[in-house]
Amino acid sequence: MIGKFLKKKWKSYLIGIIFLVFIDYLQILVPKYVGNVVNLVIKPPVDMNTIFNYVILIVIIAIGVVVGRFMWRMFIMGSARKFQVYAQQTLFDKFLSSPISFLDKHSVGNLMAYYTNDVQAVSQMLSQGVIMTVDAIAMAIFVFAGMLMVVDYRLVLITLIPLPFVALSSWYFGGKIHMRFKKVQNDFSFISERAQESFSNVKTIKSYGVEDKFNALFKQSCDQFADDNFLLLRISAVYGPLISFLAALTTAIAIFLGGQMVISGTVNLGDFVAFISYLGMLTGPFVEVGQIINVLQMGRASQERIESLMKNPDRNDEGLEFPGKFQTLEIKHLNFSYDGKKTLNNIDFNIKAGQKVAIIGKIGSGKTTLVKLMTKLYEVENGSIFYNGIDINDINAKSLRDNVLLVPQESFLFSTKISKNVAFGLKEFAEDDVEDASKVAHFHEEVVKFDYKYETLVGERGVTLSGGQRQRLSLSRGIFKNAQVIILDDVLSAVDSQTATLILEDIGKTLKDMTTIVITHNIASVKNSDVIFVMDDGKIVESGTHDELMRLNGLYHRLFMIQQIEREIGN
């Protein structure tokens, strides 16, 4: 990710670095001019014109530094801000382009940690990290060069004594910081995941009265995060002062030996003043080494996390367009395993255009997995699923889903108007089309009861609607899409049996050319289907019309009779 960004923005960084280096060069001129002024002052007669010229030069340098700092901040830090936008957009695209299997393994809270903290750490590396690294290297080179111009080289060599210790400390502490910051970021991901989970299910938590338990779990996660942060802080707390101590030790030695040289007349006072000024400027790069290591190692740790995430393969969007008007769906010897557990076993069936199909079965029998495979949400082996005789793996995923629509059991509703929730994904749409779709889903009669009708705002996740209303809104959305094949994955579970039957009958009458596949536990609502497939333990154990299945006296008959008895007891 960083490589791609720098290919586009390397010129901005180069210009910023040039300004930064130029400013460092200007700054090392000031001690030399100050030293010259001191030498002029201590040796009468005092040449005020020359001193005034040096003052003017120092003022010009100060102005140049101000302008130069503005420029490098704009180019380097501005580019880092653009990286932040680029990285967040790239991650967002990655999340949307990833297969469902990827999203199954990463919670929303975990992904948000990448999107915020990790991107911020890498951005810091590309701004403060670059600035401090270039500044420390350039300033050190210029300062040593300036020292060599004003004092004996032996005194300059003394200032190099701490460098091996600085390098050794940086190598040792850098590795520690890298590992511990990575642990801290993982802890933050877990906290984000736990917080998101709790906030999303706060009603359930309150209903069961387990607030104290969730508070304790969250506190445990926060305590672990604090402990790991403390370990990271402890390393930084040792490393930073250690570098400062080495810098102070160098200054003390240099002042002691340099002072003796001034007393002995080897070095004049003005040059010694310039040398001390240079030494003060050299302390900055020494101290910055500690900050550089912190920023770079933290940035590297987050970069590794992001790059690891980006290596996950995208879903395959290549392939043919959907093969014209839907005619047949064939499934041949379909097998599927999820996380090593076999979910579907040797599924075989055919569906023809215009048919009203139902798939029923006990919970966990594989119904939802089957329809997810039919819409290419998970990958299957070649030769397993065919649309109009074309292998599903050869069909473009977007084109397939434009024609074969899965309305999931729990559709997410957005915090916007009812009309925009129905016309999901469209900026412009006809209100009449929204109403027509809602009427088929028997949702229109509910909407007109609201004060603002289709302009009514739906709360987050549809919190202002009842369970049945949310499901009918989701169904309206699916009908509005007007796909050739619509798959309803238990979308009427919160609707009573009589209403569910009426809705499915209206869909059949209104959308005669549409092929419908209904997954449900409510057998009474689908007994008029053209064909019913009965699933059990990942297999299709029975198929036929309602009457044919009842005559078989098998699983379908048993499930139907149980529901009949439950309905009579309920009445």
Please give the chain's pLDDT, 571 residues, in tens. 788 888 888 888 899 999 988 888 888 777 777 777 777 777 666 677 887 887 888 888 888 888 888 898 889 888 888 888 888 888 888 887 777 777 777 777 778 778 888 888 888 888 888 888 888 888 888 877 877 777 777 777 776 777 677 667 777 777 777 778 778 878 877 787 777 777 766 766 776 677 788 788 888 888 888 888 888 888 777 777 777 777 777 778 777 877 777 787 777 777 777 777 777 777 667 667 767 777 888 888 888 888 888 887 776 667 888 888 999 999 999 999 877 788 899 999 999 988 899 998 888 888 888 988 898 888 888 999 999 999 998 988 888 888 988 888 776 777 788 888 888 877 778 888 888 888 888 888 888 888 888 888 886 666 667 777 888 888 888 888 888 898 888 887 767 777 777 888 888 777 777 888 988 877 877 888 899 999 988 899 999 999 999 999 988 888 888 888 877 776 5
Instruction: Give the span between the Cα atoms of 117 and 188, in whole angstroms.
Output: 8
pLDDT of residue 571: 56
DSSP assignments along 14-39, one per residue: HHHHHHHHHHHHHHHHHHHHHHHHHH
Question: Which residues, listed in sequence order, are joined to residue 519 by a DSSP beta bridge?
Answer: 359, 489
pLDDT of residue 385: 92
pLDDT of residue 274: 74
Token digits of residue 32: 């030399």
pLDDT of residue 331: 92
pLDDT of residue 462: 60
CA dihedral 69, 71, 72, 73 (to 10 degrees): 80
pLDDT of residue 327: 92
pLDDT of residue 316: 67
pLDDT of residue 163: 67
- Cβ–Cβ < 8 Å for 555, 541: yes
- Cβ–Cβ < 8 Å for 542, 556: yes
pLDDT of residue 388: 92
Sign of the C-alpha dihedral computed for residues 46, 48, 53 and 58 taken in this order: positive
pLDDT of residue 203: 64
CA dihedral 485, 486, 489, 492 (to 10 degrees): -150
Token digits of residue 303: 């970069």
> Given phi > 0 = left and psi -120 to 50 = alpha, else beta, which region is 346?
left
Token digits of residue 181: 């910051």
DSSP annotation of 417: B
- Cβ–Cβ < 8 Å for 279, 252: no
Residue 397 phi, psi dihedral angles, 5° rounding: -60, -45
Of 8, 11, 87, 89, nearest in space to 299 by CA = 87
Q: How far is CA 18 from CA 8, 69, 135, in A?
A: 18, 11, 11
pLDDT of residue 290: 67
- Cβ–Cβ < 8 Å for 380, 373: yes
Residue 458 phi, psi dihedral angles, 5° rounding: -95, 130
Question: How would you class 417 by CB atoms within 10 Å of its CB: exposed for 0-12, middle for 13-18, buried for 19 or more?
Answer: middle
Instruction: Give the span between the Cα atoms of 7 and 83, in whole angstroms.
Output: 12
